[in-house]
Structure formats: C-alpha cells, structure tokens
C-alpha cells in the first residue's frame, strides 16, 4: 500500500444519547434521542461541515436518522437510509436489562460473552450476521465513491464490527473499541481494499469545557 495513493475517507459515527439511557439491549427498537442526544448529533455534524462529504449512509432507525439529517444540512450531501446498518438484532432480549436477561434466560448472558462471534440470542443475530450485512453496506458505499468522502451514521455494534474488520481484529475483541455517543471514527480505504484507521471514538460533539483532559476517556 502506497500511502500517497488516492483513498476513500470514511467518517464512521455513532448516534447520540437516547431517551432514558440505561444498560438495556435496545438493538433494533426505534428508541428516540434525548434532548442531549440531539444536541450531540448537531455538534458532531457541524464538525464535518467542511469535510467535502460526497455521500451519507445511515441506519434507518430514528436515532441515526437525526444525525444523518444534521450531516446533510451542513454538508449538502444526499442520504441513503438502509436497514442493513441497524444495530444487531437481540431478538427476545430486546428491551431487557442484563439482570432481566439472566432472570428469564439463565446463563444466556454468560454464553454470549464466551462466544461473542457465534452466539445468537433467541430470535436474534450474532456478530457474524451483523458483520455480513453492515460491513457489506459500507464497502458498497466505498466502491461507489472511490476517492470521495463518506459519512456513516450508525450504532455502537455496527461501528465496532466495521473497525474490527478494517483492523483485522477478531470479533470477540470488539469491546476493546470504545464507542461513545455521537463519537466519530476516521478510516481511509485505499484502492486495494487496505484500510488505515486514523482515529477512534473522537468526542467531537463536546464543547471545549467538556473536552478538558479529565473528561476524555
């Protein structure tokens, strides 16, 4: 890979904070953003106003649609909404807390953590399923925008899986990649398909006070 070659840049972003954020498997439930999450989305989008974005692809769930529409407003780029960028489907676990999962499906949470790649909650997906649909959607956008700049409005699980794919990490290690609300990741994809991750989990939605060193994790 020649680092002087033309590349396609991806700004891979996560939606903002949702209403009543708690340790729940929201999955593909269409949970709306909180007021804070809306502000985070707008601030994150404004940071890309001068990024020459040629294409925006987004999960069709409202928490990502809000971010995508904020990006479109400041960049003028068109949006492609798709259900292939939705968060992993947790099936019957959707909307449950960890404690509720353990009560209703004893040992299930432990099984998932021991086999993150292969375990499927009842009626749901595993990470291999998520990688197949979400990564393919992003790669398709790259192939249609060679040399351009793409913004992706997606979910924590989607982002982690795609980052792991570019980094050639096992999917079992995805929780080593933090993805805060409204964060931005920067990835460059070269003509041979090789990728370089320039930045991970940038908190660009925060103001200067919130970006003090003690607040950055």
For residue 210, pLDDT beyond 90: no
Looking at the structure of the chain, the number of domains it has is 1
| 174 secondary structure, DSSP code | G
Q: What is the DSSP string of 61-112?
A: SHHHHHHHHHHHHHH---EEEEGGGSPP--GGGTT-BHHHHHHHSTTHHHHH
* Residue among 8, 12, 72 at smallest CA distance from 42: 72
Q: What are phi and psi of 68, to 5 degrees?
A: -60, -40
Mean per-residue pLDDT for 151-172? Answer: 97
User: What CATH number is associated with residue 107?
Assistant: 3.40.50.1240
Sheet order of strands, 79-82 included = 79-82, 55-59, 149-154, 7-14, 184-190, 195-202
pLDDT band of residue 57 (cuts 50, 70, 90) is very high
Distance separating alpha carbons of residues 59 and 64, to the nearest angstrom: 6
Residue 196, pLDDT above cutoff 60: yes
Give the range among 43-57, 74-88, 103-117 with minimum mean pLDDT: 103-117
Host domain of residue 192: 7-215
CB atoms within 10 A of CB 138: 25
Helices (H) and strands (E) in the chain, counts: 6, 6
Indicate whether 56 belongs to any domain. Answer: yes
Give residue-wise pLDDT tens across range 93-131.
999 998 999 999 999 989 998 999 999 999 999 999 999
Q: Is residue 141 part of a domain?
A: yes
Is residue 142 one of the residues assigned to a domain?
yes
Would 24 be classed as within a structural domain?
yes
Percent of the chain with pLDDT over 70: 91
Q: Tokens in use for 161?
A: 């899986």
Within a domain: residue 125?
yes
Q: Does residue 1 form part of some domain? A: no
CB 90 within 8 A of CB 121: yes
Determine the Cα–Cα distance for residues 38 and 166; give it in Å rounded to an integer: 29
Residue 2 lies in a domain: no
195 is a domain residue = yes
């Amino acid at each position: 890979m020649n680092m002087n070659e033309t590349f396609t840049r991806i700004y891979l972003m996560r939606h903002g904070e949702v209403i009543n954020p708690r340790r729940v498997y929201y999955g593909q439930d269409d949970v709306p953003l909180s007021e804070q999450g809306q502000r985070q989305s707008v601030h994150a989008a404004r940071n890309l106003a001068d990024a020459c974005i040629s294409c925006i692809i987004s999960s069709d769930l409202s928490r990502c649609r809000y971010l995508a529409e904020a990006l479109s407003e400041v960049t003028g780029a068109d949006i492609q909404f798709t259900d292939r960028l939705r968060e992993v489907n947790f099936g019957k676990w959707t909307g449950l807390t960890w404690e509720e999962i353990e009560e209703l499906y004893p040992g299930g949470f432990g099984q998932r953590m021991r086999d993150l790649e292969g375990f499927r909650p009842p009626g749901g997906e595993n990470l291999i399923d998520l990688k197949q649909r979400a990564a393919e959607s992003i790669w398709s956008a790259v192939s249609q925008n060679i040399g351009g700049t793409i913004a992706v409005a997606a979910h924590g699980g989607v982002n982690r899986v795609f980052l792991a794919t570019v980094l050639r990490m096992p999917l079992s290690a995805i929780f080593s990649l933090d993805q805060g609300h409204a964060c931005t990741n920067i990835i460059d994809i070269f003509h041979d398909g090789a990728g370089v991750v320039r930045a991970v989990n940038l908190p660009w939605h925060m103001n200067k006070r919130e970006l003090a060193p003690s607040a950055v994790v």
